[in-house]
């Protein structure tokens, strides 16, 4: 951790603190400046600064700390793992909600990869230094089946199956409202949002974006909600979440594409606390079908619901059945 102190010029014109900080030694970009502020590494005249929009005070002393760079090589860390299947070539787990798949900024040693390294010394070298054996991912808030390669041969086989769309994935999602049919398909190309680079959106440009197709089927209906079976025919970032939100049925609890406020009146109001406690999108990757990289045998792995989603569905059934 490197600590630096700079005196803000007495004749400094009003400027946001993240903008000023971005020009200082070791910070480089405004984005890094905002991250330092958010993580409590910035003080002005000894007082912590937590908002990047605050303006600097002329003549004040600005102190900031730059954390040591995170290691590019993930470390083993013992974390709970629910193993669905394992042999010499592959390992499949039921990823719990709120767990990141591989190390990334802010998640250096609390990911699925860290847990796998503590479980086995054998993971494929392919995939990158911080994501050994990882051939596909689930969002942090999404639970369910994740398959990981333990050998490079297995990695190449699984990667080819994903590329050729041979691997079949099935999800269950609890969404708002009732669908207008028993089954259907959502077909809409997806691109990165122009307003928020962390989000995805349906493209409005003819021929733009990447093809994205999602099949759906109603499994069960409740007042104000529906449990859907989803079969993505493509694998785009945030595809299911974006598609369902685009047709007016966002996934319950989705913090990015869902409803900002849960109904405080009507039949769903009593469930407000349960949805808030969920703290993530009610989306679960329940089945994954593929060819075993070694034997060629067709396999289907099934991941049970995590406790949070199972409890919410039981409360819905108890209330409305």
User: ∠169-173-174 over CA atoms, to 5°?
Assistant: 170
Q: Is 30 helix (H, G, I), strand (E, B) or coil?
A: helix
Closest C-alpha to 218, from 228, 206, 231, 205: 228
For β-strands 2-7 and 47-48, DSSP reports them as unpaired
Radius of gyration over every alpha carbon of the chain, rounded to an integer in angstroms: 23
Alpha carbons 172 and 164: distance in angstroms, whole number = 23
Alpha carbons 292 and 214: distance in angstroms, whole number = 25
Q: Report residue 167 CA to chain centroid gap.
A: 21
311 is catalytic: no
5 DSSP β-pair partners = 63
**Secondary structure letter of residue 60 according to DSSP:** -
Polymer length in residues for the chain:
321
Q: Is 219 helix (H, G, I), strand (E, B) or coil?
A: strand
Alpha carbons 172 and 220: distance in angstroms, whole number = 11
Whose tokens are 């990141």? That residue is: 100
187 DSSP β-pair partners = 213
- Residue burial 227-259, b: 16+ Cβ < 10 Å; e: rest: bbbbbbeeebebbbbbbbbebebbbbbbebbbe
Catalytic-role residue among 18, 87, 110, 139: 139
Contact 112/101 with Cβ under 8 angstroms? yes
**Secondary structure letter of residue 23 according to DSSP:** T
Q: Report residue 274 CA to chain centroid gap.
A: 21
- Catalytic residue set: 139
């Amino acid at each position: 951790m490197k600590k630096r102190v700079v005196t803000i010029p007495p004749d400094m014109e009003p400027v946001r603190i993240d903008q000023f900080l971005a020009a200082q030694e070791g910070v480089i970009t405004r984005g890094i400046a905002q991250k330092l502020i958010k993580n409590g590494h910035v003080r002005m005249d000894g007082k912590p600064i937590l908002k990047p929009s605050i303006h600097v005070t002329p003549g004040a002393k600005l102190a900031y700390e730059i954390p040591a760079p995170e290691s590019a090589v993930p470390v083993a860390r013992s974390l709970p793992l629910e193993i669905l299947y394992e042999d010499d070539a592959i390992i499949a787990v039921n990823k719990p909600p709120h767990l990141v798949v591989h190390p990334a900024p802010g998640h250096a040693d609390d990911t699925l990869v860290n847990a796998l390294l503590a479980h086995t010394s054998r993971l494929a070298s392919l995939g990158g230094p911080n994501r050994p054996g990882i051939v596909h991912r689930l969002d942090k808030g999404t639970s369910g089946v994740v398959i990981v390669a333990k050998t490079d041969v297995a990695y190449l086989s699984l990667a080819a199956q994903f590329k050729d769309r041979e691997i079949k994935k099935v999800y269950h999602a609890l969404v708002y409202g009732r669908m207008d049919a028993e089954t259907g398909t959502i077909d809409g190309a997806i691109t990165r949002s122009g307003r928020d680079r962390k989000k995805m959106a349906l493209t409005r440009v003819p021929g733009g974006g990447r093809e994205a197709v999602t099949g759906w089927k109603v499994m069960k209906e409740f007042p104000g909600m529906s449990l859907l079976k989803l079969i993505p025919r493509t694998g785009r970032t945030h595809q299911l979440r974006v598609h369902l939100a685009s047709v007016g049925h966002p996934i319950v609890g989705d913090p990015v594409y869902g409803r900002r406020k849960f109904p405080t009146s009507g039949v769903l109001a009593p469930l407000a606390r349960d949805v808030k406690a969920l703290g993530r999108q009610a989306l679960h990757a329940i089945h994954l079908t593929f060819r075993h990289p070694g034997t060629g045998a067709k396999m289907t792995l099934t991941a049970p619901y995590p406790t949070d989603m199972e409890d919410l569905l039981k409360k819905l059934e108890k209330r409305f059945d």
